[in-house]
Structure 1
Amino acid sequence: MATATAGRVRTVTGAAVLTALVLVIAFGNPAYSDWAKDHPLNDAWGFFLKQLAWPTWSFSSDDSIRTILASDVKAILVVVLTGVFVSLMADPSPSRSARLFFSSWGAYVFAAAFAGLLAAFIQADASLRGAIDWAAGGGIYGLFVGWVLAIVVFASRH
């Protein structure tokens, strides 16, 4: 599962976790999330830009502490669960390139949906319906953003 290159060891899981972390930090931050809300673009590119902000995180907000904590936990869980699911699903062998791409993408979909499902129960006024909504949002995020992670994972192996 590891490839030695220039004195370093790269793994599929490491590349996936690093990519997920960059995506969550870069696009889940309050500045980008606020920009995405304030600039609704009514085309496919605008939809994609809005999806990038799904795992929102914040250190201060007008929301309740539980809601802030739930959002932060959701962002953390996306990164952690990406590592878990990629390590379980991805086949890093060179002869399985297409499998690596699609399993990494699928792992990100599962990680985001599961993170939404788990984190939804932390927020104030938690409900099963709210958890399903958060899981659905995570699934949509993973479907439309996960290909970015899959490309990075695929490229890290070649």
Structure 2
Amino acid sequence: MAITRSRYRTATSAGTLVAFLLVLIFGSPWYVDWVNSGDRGIFLETLAWPAWAFDSDASVRDLLGADLKAILLIVFTALFITLLVGAQLASARGTISAIFTGWAAYIFAAALAAFITSFLLANPSFGQATANAAGGAGYGLIVGWIIGLATMAGRRP
């Protein structure tokens, strides 16, 4: 029995690729500096949330937390899309279901990444971690539809 590779992108790989591109482009220091230089609107400002940097005047702990948050967002997006796409019922496999699956996965991934990395900051607390998770969920709510569209375009199991 020959094993053939599908030429179609899976929902997980499509959503993860788009999440990686969002974090890479809109979390970059250049984009974040541009957004912070003026009033750009809520959508463009929200896109800059998982900001990462190579060199900064911030402490090593804060820099590591920000970079790890961006990495965990991508990893958790792949994990949650895999879990949610695999759990879809046969009768729910449609366009709208795929969009909501990717969108929800991104909300959960952003909230969990923000929650975990909050404990790397100076003077961590559970209350601050919960507030950061709410901010991450807000980011996922505003930006996650993009991941949903990418997930819709991918092949589901």
**TM-score, normalised relative to structure 2:** 0.87
- After superposition, the CA RMSD in angstroms is 2.0
1:17 matched to which residue of 2?
16
* Deviation by residue 1:112-152 (Cα, 9 ceiling, x = unmatched): 00000001101222222221221111101100000011112
Separation of aligned partners in 2, 1:36 and 1:156: 31
**What amino acid sits opposite 1:28 in the alignment?**
G
Residue pair 2:114, 2:133 contacting (<8 A) in 1 also: yes
Which one has the bigger strand percentage? 1
Separation of aligned partners in 1, 2:122 and 2:31: 24
Identical-pair percentage: 42
Separation of aligned partners in 1, 2:123 and 2:93: 49
Equivalent residue pairs, number: 149
Matches within 5 A, 1:78-157: 78-90=73-85, 91=88, 95-157=93-155
Separation of aligned partners in 2, 1:109 and 1:134: 13
Question: Following TM superposition, by how much is the alpha carbon of 1:92 offset from its aligned partner in structure 2, in angstroms?
Answer: 9.2
The answer to whether 1:52 aligns with 2:24 is no
Q: Which has the higher contact order (CA 8 A, sep 6+)?
A: 2
* Deviation by residue 1:23-75 (Cα, 9 ceiling, x = unmatched): 0000001111111112123xxxx100010000011111111100000000100
- C-alpha spacing 1:156/1:124, structure 2 compared with 1 (3 Å): same
Structure 1 portions without partners, runs of 5+: none
The answer to whether 1:73 aligns with 2:73 is no
- C-alpha spacing 1:99/1:80, structure 2 compared with 1 (3 Å): same
**TM-score, normalised relative to structure 1:** 0.87
